[in-house]
Amino acid sequence: MSEAVSALAGARFEGAAVVADTGPRGMITVRGDLSDAKLVKAVTGAAGVAMPGQREARVEGAKGLLWMSPDELMVLLPYEEAPAAAEKIAKALAGSHHLVANVSDARAVFAVTGAAAREVLAKLTPADLHVSAFGPGQVRRSRFAQVAAAFWMTNETDFELFCFRSQAVYMFDLLSAAARKGAGVGYF
């Protein structure tokens, strides 16, 4: 098996906030009936966290579940575990209408950390990022300038986000420009 590398091989930018490629990440798209007990058991078993409700992110360490739409979840887990986990989830859902896809190699994941992280993201997305509107435990799909992305918070200040792998350079440049020292707006 070939060695897996993330899109930007750990690229890092340090400014008012730190923007970093977080390396390969296991990601499984699961679509189906989210109220189906079989599906709930399969995905919570794979991620080791509770089932998320609407727009909730349940992430603990490398594992987690993101609510992507009324019939779609993203399962996060260590890169190496994704193929076997996807197979196991698919097996558990056999016979019911569903889709399970290991999309680990089709996505790029970035961490935006530091006190200015919230402002960096807010410059690029139309999503409401006021502290009263978005915080840890939530996930939001939106756009960053011209590309789609989903993001969540790993603590009170830091964010993680992913986009399509083919757009990784665009996203990294975008975030880095917004995170340059002296480019603060001071809104939050």
Partner 1 sequence: MLILHCPYCGVDADETELAAGGEAHLKRFGPGSSDEEFEGYLFGRENPRGVHLERWRHAHGCGKWFHAARCTATLEVFGTYSAQVTEPPAEIREAITAKRPGWSWREFS
Residues that bind partner 1 (CB under 8 A): 54-55, 68-70, 72, 126-128, 140-143, 148
**C-beta closer to partner 1: residue 11 or 127:** 127
Nearest approach, Cβ of 143 to partner 1 (angstroms)? Answer: 4
Q: How far is the CB of 75 from partner 1 (least distance, A)?
A: 17
Residue 142 or 157 with smaller CB distance to partner 1: 142
Confirm if 60 and 49 have CB atoms less than 8 A apart. Answer: yes
Pick between residue 13 and residue 162 the one whose CB is nearest to partner 1.
162
The CA distances from residue 52 to 12, 27, 34, 87, 98, in Å, are: 31, 16, 10, 21, 18
Rounded to the nearest whole angstrom, what is the least distance from the CB of residue 126 to partner 1 in the complex? 4
The nearer residue to partner 1, 55 or 88, going by C-beta atoms, is 55
Phi-psi group of 145: left, alpha or beta (phi > 0 → left; psi -120 to 50 → alpha; rest → beta): left
* Least distance (Å) between residue 122 CB and partner 1: 13
Which residue, 13, 24, 75, is CA-closest to 67?
A: 75
Block residue for tokens 């490398």: 62
